[in-house]
Amino acid sequence: MKVVPKFAVRWSFEHALPRNLVRVAAKRGDLQARLFFAAERHETAALADIFAEVQASGPMVPTRLGYITADHAAVREVLSSNDVRTGFPLNTETRTGRLLDWAKIDFLHPLRPPSLLATEPPDHTRYRKLVTRVFTARAVEALRTQVQQIADDLLDDLEGRPEVDLAQDYCAKLPVIVISQILGVPAQDHDYVLKLGTGAAPSLDFGLSWRATQDVEAALQEFDAWLDQHIERLRSSPGSDLMSQLVAVRDEQGALNDIELKSTAGLVLAAGFETTVNLMGNAIALFEDNPDELRRLREEPQLWPNAVDEVLRIDPPVLLTGRSTLRDGEIAGARTRPNQLITAVLAGANRDPKVFVDPDTFDVARENARDHLSFSAGRHFCLGAALARMEAEVGLRSLYERYPGLRLLPGRERRTTRVLRGFEHLPAKIGAAQRSSNSLSPTPV
């Protein structure tokens, strides 16, 4: 096979070398490195143990790869701090920096500028302002009926099938249809966009194999090309959707250049389904393993919004996020120098016993479930939090109301991604459909 030099450089520095470093560090018991492998192998119990170990070692724990924190207050402080940035800028004064700059990709990547996830003020403020109003709690509530209709249609499609894969046939489909409608993606493109988004999902992970890196880059490149033609299509025949509005803003005021427009719209689209699919899948697995909690929701359906937050707390779709320090200073009690990495373990902060009583227990009535950090904090707080909560509430409640006899079959399988945690397959027998919209409510006597 022909080796592409730029690709080889990228893969070596972004995947092969860090992976080797992590492997050596794990052998020496480094907490960050152990977390890496436990996440890669989807060892849920080991992950919980590592969170507790990180917490017991202090709010900010030094490791061979920088600091790691699983302390709720420290994670919040890191994410809200003006002394950190997302990403890790290249120092082009060094030979390695110049080499990596030469080898950098020329297509969109969620962790490279001008992605919202990789920019800071003033650019970040400018991009974010353009998309915020579409995702306010009020704007999202106005979409509830539309989301209900999409869920109902998908549930109709499942009816009568002896066996379904809830991850593929329901959890993956609902969010992609919802966000596509918001962004004006035509129905015939939904499956294609879903395929590309799923292919690009490991782009948040480092330490990938050569083959996996090739696949991810191919998906990102294809997504970039699809966005070009989608934007062109909206430019010639605009609709009332968010993406058409963004295109118009770009054209009228020059607020965004073409790359910024593509990056902002592309991130909203991909983030809009690649995470919510995990929330719904993780929820279904948790309900299967904790049938008493589902029973409680049958008796007290008003607990559904809280149950969604409890799922987000105990099995968050985004395991962790990273920051790097800007200057000398102190963050969460730790002395920091410029350009140190900090890994904020969102899933760990969600199990901080100082904040959550009995943190490893799944309790749909937990009073402070909403205090989780699964949507991050500070200026990068998830733009789609209200939408994700509403979609999951409508999607899950409708599923269990329509199919009250639903049971998972053996063979559930986690997605291979490390930062994004969810299920690739959830085989299930759904049983007979129940038409009443109140099937989960107590039967009146």
Binding site for ligand HEM (CB under 6 A): 79, 86, 116-117, 128, 135, 179, 267-268, 271-272, 275-276, 279, 316-318, 321, 374-376, 380, 382-384, 387-388
SS3 372: coil
The residue (of 103 and 167) whose beta carbon lies closer to ligand HEM is: 167
Question: Minimum distance from CB of 356 to ligand HEM (Å)?
Answer: 17
The residue (of 173 and 380) whose beta carbon lies closer to ligand HEM is: 380
Q: Please identify the residue of the shown chain whose CB is closest to the bound ligand HEM.
A: 384
The residue (of 276 and 350) whose beta carbon lies closer to ligand HEM is: 276
Query: Residue 330 burial (CB < 10 Å; 0-12/13-18/19+)?
Result: exposed
User: Bridge partners of 413?
Assistant: 425
Q: How far is CA 238 from CA 143, 216, 242, 261, in A?
A: 20, 31, 10, 15
What does the CA dihedral 376, 378, 383, 386 come to, rounded to 10 degrees? 70
Q: CA angle 161-164-168, nearest 5°?
A: 135
The residue (of 103 and 203) whose beta carbon lies closer to ligand HEM is: 203
The residue (of 303 and 382) whose beta carbon lies closer to ligand HEM is: 382
Question: Minimum distance from CB of 318 to ligand HEM (Å)?
Answer: 4
Closest CA to 69 of 388, 377, 422, 385: 377
The residue (of 136 and 436) whose beta carbon lies closer to ligand HEM is: 136
Question: Minimum distance from CB of 420 to ligand HEM (Å)?
Answer: 9
Residue 386 contacts residue 122 (beta carbons within 8 Å):
no
Question: Minimum distance from CB of 246 to ligand HEM (Å)?
Answer: 12
Question: Minimum distance from CB of 29 to ligand HEM (Å)?
Answer: 27
Token pair of 18, please?
Answer: 């860090």
Helix intervals (H) in 300-352: 304-314, 346-349
Question: Minimum distance from CB of 256 to ligand HEM (Å)?
Answer: 14
In angstroms, rounded to a whole number, what is the distance separating the alpha carbons of residues 260 and 263?
Answer: 5
